[in-house]
């Protein structure tokens, strides 16, 4: 059973960089056919896809967020990370990591989510 767990600070100051890490266990982060993704949920709203990374390092980002995003991967530590630069209150959300399966193009495993508040 693949398990994902987000970690990182719950409070970030405006204009700073939000950094989160997702640890993967129970399966290989190098498995073909899977992309490691970030998704967020603003308070009281639906989900927003942020982007994904393949184990090779190839990335794809939501065009509306792309200029502030960096997703990276460390296959030796079996984790991948999200950086969002120049954050504002609009980046306050619960951030989920998830595995995107090429089969069916769906997110088959998710983490529990990490709440992040942007505030001074």
Partner 1 sequence: QSALTQPPSASASPGESVTVSCTGTNSDIGGYDYVSWYQHHPGKAPRALIYEVTKRASGVPPRFSASKSANVASLTVSGLQPDDEATYFCSSYAGNNDWIFGGGTKLTVL
Q: Which residues bind partner 1 (CB under 8 A)?
A: 4, 39, 45-49, 60, 62-64, 96, 98, 100-101, 103-113
74: closest CA among 48, 94, 55? Answer: 55
Minimum distance from residue 70 beta carbon to partner 1 (Å) = 17
Residues near 18 by Cβ (< 8 Å), separated by ≥ 6? 8, 9, 12, 82, 83, 84, 87, 91, 116, 118
Nearer Cβ to partner 1 (48/55)? 48
Nearer Cβ to partner 1 (104/120)? 104
Q: Which two tokens stand for residue 101?
A: 């399966």
Minimum distance from residue 60 beta carbon to partner 1 (Å) = 5
Minimum distance from residue 69 beta carbon to partner 1 (Å) = 13
Nearer Cβ to partner 1 (17/31)? 31
4: closest CA among 116, 104, 99, 70? Answer: 99
């Amino acid at each position: 059973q693949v398990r994902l767990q987000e970690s990182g600070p719950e409070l970030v100051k405006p204009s700073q960089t939000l950094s989160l890490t997702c640890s993967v266990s129970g399966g290989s982060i190098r498995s073909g056919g899977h992309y490691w993704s970030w998704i967020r949920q603003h308070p009281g709203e639906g989900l927003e896809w942020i982007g994904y990374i393949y184990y090779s390092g190839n990335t794809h980002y939501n065009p509306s967020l792309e200029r502030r995003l960096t997703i990276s991967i460390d296959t030796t530590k079996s984790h991948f990370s999200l950086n969002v630069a120049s954050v504002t209150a609009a980046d306050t959300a619960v951030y989920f990591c998830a595995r995107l399966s090429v089969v069916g193009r769906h997110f088959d495993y998710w983490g529990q989510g990490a709440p992040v508040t942007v505030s001074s």
